[in-house]
Amino acid sequence: MNQQIREDNPHAGRELGGRELGGTPVVGGKAYGPVVRPGRRMTVEATEVAPPPVSEAERDAELSRFVAAAGVVAARLRERASHASGAAAEVLIATAGLAEDRGWIGAVSKLIGTGTPAPAAAVAATEQFAAMFTKLGGLMAERVTDLNDVRDRVVAEVLGQPEPGVPVPDEPSVLFADDLAPADTAGLDPELITALATRLGGPTSHTAIIARQLGIPCVVAVAELDVVSAGTAVLVDGAAGTIVVEPDPDRARADVEQSRREVEAIAGWTGPGHTADGHEVAILANVADGVSARAATASPVEGVGLFRTELAFLDRPDEPSLDEQAALYREVIEAFGGKKMVIRTLDAGSDKPLKFVDHGTEANPALGVRGNRIAATHPEIRAGQLDAIARAAEETGSTPWVMAPMIASAPEAAEFAAQVRRRGLVAGVMIEIPSAAILAPAIVAEVDFVSIGTNDLTQYTMAADRMSAELAELTDPWQPSVLALIAMVAEAGSRTGTPVGVCGEAAADPLLACVLVGLGVTSLSSAPAAAAAVGAKLAEVDLDRCRAAATAAVATAAPGAARAAAREALRC
Ligand code: PEP
Ligand code: MG
C-alpha cells in the first residue's frame, strides 16, 4: 500500500537521458510528452502514527462519519459513470460497489467498534481483503488496486482532504503510476493523457482495459518506472513495451507522427496485398478448423495459406473416417468460397502427437517420425487423408493446393507430389528442414509450389527448440542464416516460376514481411490478426526497397543487425 502514495522522484537529478525502460506491451502506438503522476494520497500519513483510540462515547459518531464518507465516494463514482460509456462506465460502477461493499464496511465497523479511528480501520480492513484477493491470484489479485483506491478516496473524505487522483495537465502528457485505479483512468481525456505506464499491473488490469478503450498507448509492469520524475519528457512505445527517457525531441515527435500514420493505415487496409509499386503478394490466413476459418474471413485475407489439419484431431483417440474428414475439409473450403486454399497433410508428432498415430517412444521426437515421415510407418493414414481432401474438392468444385510437412529431400517431394496429383489436386511441400532449403532447386522441380515453415526452419537451422523461452534469441526468424536459406528457396522458385509462400509466424512481422517479399516470396500466411499490419506495411514500400532490405538483412551477422539494416533500407 505504501507504494500507492510514494511521491515521485526518488532518483531526481540522476542522468537518465536516452535510457530505455522495458515493460509489458498492452496497447500499441507511440506517445511523447512530460510525465504526470496521480496526486498524493493521504492514507498512510493518516494512519502510520499510532492514533489515539476513539472513546467509547464517540464510536457511533465515528462509524457514521465513515459510512457517510463511503456513501459520498460511491455516489461521486456513480455520477462519473453516468457521463462515461462502455468499459469506463462499467468499471466506475463496479468501484462504486466496492465503496459500499457490506463485507468491507462490516470489517471497518468492527474495528471502529474496538476504538480504532475510521482511517486506520479502513486501512486495516482493506489489508485483510487485499491479502485475500492476492491469495486468490489472477483477476482477483488485479482488483487489489481498485480496493486500495476506494480506501484512499474514503479516507480522504473522512479527513476532509481533496479527492486523490489524476491531475488534469495543461499540455498533452504521459501518465505514470504504480497502478491506476478505475476511478483514475475512467475519466481520462485521451487528448491530454496520451499514454499510460504503470509499475505494477498486468495485461488484464483496469489500466489495460481503459487504455484499450481510449486507444492510447499503454505499457504495464515497468519495474524501473520510479526512476523517472514528473515533468521528464518520455517516449512511450506501446507495441514494443518500452519507454525512452528524454529522447531527442525532434526524433520522438517524428516517431509519434509515423506511428499515428501507421495505425491509421492499418485500420484502413482492406487488401489485396501488394507493394507500393503494385507488385502482388497474397496475404493469407493460417487456420485450424471450420470455426477459425470462418473467423478468418473477417480479416482482409485472400484465402488460406496453411490449414493445419492435425490441430482438428488432437483429441481424437481413433482415426477420423473418410466422411468425417471430408466434411471438415469441405467446411473450411466453403468458408472461403473458392478462394485460395492450401491444406497441409497431418503434421503429427513432436509437439503435436496424435493419439491414433503410434509414434512409439522416441528419444528426440522433433527429429523423429513426424510430419510426412509417418507415411512410411502408416501409409493408410496419409492415403485416407488425401482421399478425403479429394472428395471435399469434388463436392465443392474446387482445386485445393495440398502440401506435406517435414520434407527433407527431393525423392520425398516427388513421392508426395505423385500421390496428390493422382487425385487431381495441386501438389506442394513445406520447406522447414535446412536440407530442403539447400536442395530447393531439386525439390522445386518436383512440385507445383512450396511453402516455407519458418518456425521449424529456424528451430532446425539453429538447433534450438522452438518451445524454449531461454533460446528465444536463437529461434528468432531474423537470424541471418535462416534468411539466407529462405533466399535460396525463393531464388529456386523465381527461376522456375514456382510460387514460394511463407506460412510460419515470420509472415506476421510487417518488417520481416518486406524482407521476405524482397527475397522473392510470393505469399505470406499467418494468424489472421496480423494481416492488416502486414498488408499496410507492404503497401508503403516499393519492391526495390524490399529487395535492398533483403540484401542488407542477409548480409548481417545477428538478428538485431538484420532488423536495423532492413529498417534503414526501407527508411522506416
Ligand atoms: C512452421 O514450422 O513454420 C509451420 C508453419 O508449421 P508448424 O508451426 O505447424 O510446425
Ligand atoms: Mg512446422
Position with higher pLDDT, 184 vs 11: 184
What's the 500 CA to ligand 2 centre distance in angstroms?
16
Determine the atom of ligand 1 nearest the C-alpha atom of 503: 5
Q: Is pLDDT at 13 greater than 50 in this prediction?
A: no
Alpha carbons 135 and 420: distance in angstroms, whole number: 56
Q: Is pLDDT at 473 greater than 90 in this prediction?
A: no
Residue 546 known to be catalytic: no
pLDDT in tens, 547-558: 999 999 999 999
Q: Which helix (H) or strand (E) holds 227?
A: none
Per DSSP, the three-state class of 159 is helix
What's the 375 CA to ligand 1 centre distance in angstroms?
18
Residues 6+ apart with CB under 8 A from 540: 265, 276, 572
**Structural contact between residues 161 and 42, judged by C-beta atoms closer than 8 angstroms:** yes
Residues 6+ apart with CB under 8 A from 48: none
Alpha carbons 432 and 116: distance in angstroms, whole number: 69
Q: Binning pLDDT at 50, 70 and 90, where does residue 1 land?
A: very low
pLDDT in tens, 297-324: 999 999 999 999 999 998 899 999 999 9
Residue 503 known to be catalytic: yes
143-157, 458-472, 558-572: which has the highest mean pLDDT?
558-572
Among 289, 304, 308, say which to mutate for ligand 1: greatest number of ligand atoms within 8 Å of CB. Answer: 308
Q: What is the predicted pLDDT for the residue at 64?
A: 95
Residues with CB under 5 A from ligand 2 (ion): 432, 453, 456
5-9, 162-166, 491-495: which has the highest mean pLDDT?
491-495
Q: Give residue 350's region: left, alpha or beta (phi > 0; psi -120 to 50).
A: left
Q: Binning pLDDT at 50, 70 and 90, where does residue 10 land?
A: very low
* Average confidence (pLDDT) over 378-407: 97
Q: Binning pLDDT at 50, 70 and 90, where does residue 43 land?
A: low
Q: Is pLDDT at 209 greater than 80 in this prediction?
A: no
Name which residue sits closest to atom 1 of ligand 1, judged by CA.
453
pTM of the model: 0.68
Q: Is pLDDT at 526 greater than 70 in this prediction?
A: yes
* Average confidence (pLDDT) over 402-423: 98
206, 378, 514, 546: the catalytic one is 206
Q: What is the predicted pLDDT for the residue at 7?
A: 36
218, 503, 514, 546: the catalytic one is 503
Ligand 1 contact, 456 CB (< 6 A): yes
What's the 347 CA to ligand 2 centre distance in angstroms?
8
Q: What is the predicted pLDDT for the residue at 94?
A: 86
What's the 477 CA to ligand 1 centre distance in angstroms?
12
What's the 333 CA to ligand 1 centre distance in angstroms?
20
Among 313, 455, 461, 509, say which to mutate for ligand 1: greatest number of ligand atoms within 8 Å of CB. Answer: 455
Q: What is the predicted pLDDT for the residue at 494?
A: 97
Q: What is the predicted pLDDT for the residue at 2?
A: 32
**Structural contact between residues 117 and 54, judged by C-beta atoms closer than 8 angstroms:** yes
Q: Is pLDDT at 435 greater than 90 in this prediction?
A: yes
Name which residue sits closest to atom 6 of ligand 1, judged by CA.
453
Q: Of 24-38, 133-147, 351-365, 500-514, which range is least confident?
A: 133-147
Q: What is the predicted pLDDT for the residue at 137?
A: 76
DSSP string, 276-330: TT--B-EEEEEE-SHHHHHHHTTSS-SEEEEEEGGGGGTT-SSPPPHHHHHHHHH
Q: Is pLDDT at 140 greater than 80 in this prediction?
A: no
Alpha carbons 382 and 365: distance in angstroms, whole number: 19
